[in-house]
Chains A and B, each alone.
Chain A
Amino acid sequence: MKRIPILLFNNTGSIICTLLLLLSTQILYAEQIAITNIAFELDNKAIKKILLAKSSNARLYFLKDGNKSNQFTRSYAGKSANSINRKWQRLVFSGRAKSPVIVEDMEEMINRVSSDSKAVGHIDANIHIKSSEVRIVK
């Protein structure tokens, strides 16, 4: 008799913990996908090359949320956002590239990418894009 409530507590606790964990995972690690301006047709390899600063003919847009920009750079180039930013700053202060731009949120990201023909940015995979000026990189 004594074990039942304990088991119930354990099961309920486990379920709640699992749900919280799933929820937090969704919040912290929502998959980031690359987007570009509609005029800028790139594939995953080209995105990686740009992130690694091997091609400077683009402008990078990062979300202010460091976890999301990290998730983006790690999944496309295998590097932290800080390390990517440092590579780009070397190009910027050599006068070879435009500085990466930090944007506040998804809405600003989509607006900026849609109005810059050389833009490369990232958004949550589950966001629906209404702008016809933005391309999702597949």
Chain B
Amino acid sequence: MTKNISIAIVLIGLITLSYNSYAFDYSFKGFGTLQAAINSDESAFTGIDDDVTFKEGTKLAGQLNISITDDLSITYQGAIKHDYLNNYDMKYYTDLAFISYQSSDFLQTRIGRLRTPFFLNSEFLDANYLLPWANNPITVYGQVPILEYEGIDFIFSSSINDDFDYEIQIAYGDGDESFLYSNTVTGTKDKIKIKGKGILFLTASLFWGDYTLRINHSEAEADIDTELPFYIPSNAFPNKDTMTFDSIGFKFEDEKYLLMAEYASRRTDNSFFVEPIDGYYITAGYKYRNFMPTLTYGHSNTPSSLSKDLNITNNLSFVTASLKWDFAPTADVKLEYSHYKNDGLGENNYQINLAPDESGNRPEEFGIFSISVNFIF
């Protein structure tokens, strides 16, 4: 399916609605972020270099939800963000466009354009107000470029007993995303579109009081939609090869403390440029009145890969200190400093856009400072 099909599904729903005399209910919500960031090094990291930029992370999104009946609804979420593939021009994105049917207390089915549920926070990753950080931990969230897919999901939720609840999410569909690949031969950045066909997501979550435990296994047939130059071997990138993602996440959050950790692992068959990667992060926070300072540590490496064979360790680690100040009931300011250590090429995460400096070197250590205002309405 394509994005157009999802939008068509939503339009059909709206047309059905217009012929329906039933008094429908709708709501309009949204979220946004205004972020300024600077890098201690001239090399661009996720688009942030040593000049202050407002382009990375700044966004505005709106979400329309229309209930056709008590159980049937349409959701559309559109966002204006900066497109890092095209010189950071503002671009409009459709992030959600689906019809949802709640067939019972236990089962919700959605069909259309949905967010990929790879990790604990993946489905609301753009709504920074709802997250403890200004920038998501790259060692986990940087492993996957595909943020949306066209397909269907089934969400089963129920209780084991009075204390334990669980949720099973099964999803299937197609998704794609473009990213920039630093071509070390030509010295240029090439745009490569990666396609995930028949992505299967299997997620199980267990809830006990303020604790959440979540595991996910996802796999897809991965392919690229780019004609490679002759000097790049055909097995450099996935060519209808299987790509798998496995993750486990833990969260404890009460009125005072936050403890969150995730471990994620990516594997690709027969594709030595898209290297295997294992990564994790752990975040601890303490809430005091309207403030929540958090400390996050993350690490990722390529366990068995071309880099390793070439004695390039390709380790990435970071420490982030963040202060979240809820200055209004639905708005916060986040002040954040991250110190990164990049021991190797630093290309094993999709989100890392670590351009070499003028002398062709990538920095081994650098810091990112950011301040952001985040809100929902």
Residues of chain A touching chain B, judged by Cβ–Cβ distance below 8 Å, are: 45, 49, 54-57, 79-80, 82-83, 85-86, 89-90, 92-96, 98-99, 101, 116-118
Top 3 nearest A-B pairs (CB, nearest first) are A94-B123, A93-B124, A93-B127
B29 touches A56 (CB 8 A): no
B70 touches A117 (CB 8 A): yes
Chain B residues contacting A92 (CB-CB under 8 Å) are: 29, 63, 65
Chain A residues contacting B207 (CB-CB under 8 Å) are: 54
Q: Which chain B residues numbered 132 to 167 have a C-beta less than 8 Å away from chain A?
A: 155, 157, 159, 162, 165
A55 touches B105 (CB 8 A): yes
From A54, A95, A99, A101, give the contact of B123 (CB < 8 A).
A95
Given contacts A54-B157, A54-B165, contact A99 B127 (CB under 8 A): no
From B31, B65, B124, B155, give the contact of A98 (CB < 8 A).
B65
Chain B residues contacting A85 (CB-CB under 8 Å) are: 329-330
Chain A residues contacting B255 (CB-CB under 8 Å) are: 79-80, 83
Name A54's closest neighbour in chain B (CB-CB). B165
Chain A residues contacting B102 (CB-CB under 8 Å) are: 57
How many of chain B's residues have a CB under 8 angstroms from any CB in A? 36
Bound-state Cα–Cα, A79 to B108, Å: 26
Chain B residues contacting A54 (CB-CB under 8 Å) are: 157, 165, 207
**In the assembled complex, how far is the CB of residue A83 from the closest CB belonging to chain B, in whole angstroms?**
6
16 contacts between A and B (CB under 8 A): A45-B162, A54-B157, A54-B207, A55-B105, A55-B157, A79-B255, A89-B127, A89-B129, A89-B376, A92-B63, A93-B376, A95-B77, A95-B110, A95-B115, A98-B67, A116-B25
A49 touches B110 (CB 8 A): no
Bound-state Cα–Cα, A86 to B253, Å: 12
Bound-state Cα–Cα, A138 to B348, Å: 56
Chain B residues contacting A93 (CB-CB under 8 Å) are: 29, 31, 63, 77, 123-124, 126-127, 130, 376
From B77, B105, B329, give the contact of A82 (CB < 8 A).
B329
Q: Known pairs A89-B129, A96-B155. 10 more at Cβ < 8 A? A: A54-B157, A54-B165, A55-B165, A85-B329, A89-B376, A90-B124, A90-B130, A95-B100, A95-B110, A101-B27
**CB of B73 within 8 Å of the partner chain:** yes
Bound-state Cα–Cα, A95 to B330, Å: 19
**In the assembled complex, how far is the CB of residue A88 from the closest CB belonging to chain B, in whole angstroms?**
10
Residues 1-38 of chain B, each 1 if its beta carbon lies under 8 Å from chain A, else 0 = 00000000000000000000000010101010000000
Q: Considering residues A86, A93, A94, A116, which has the most beta carbons from chain B within 10 angstroms of its beta carbon?
A: A93
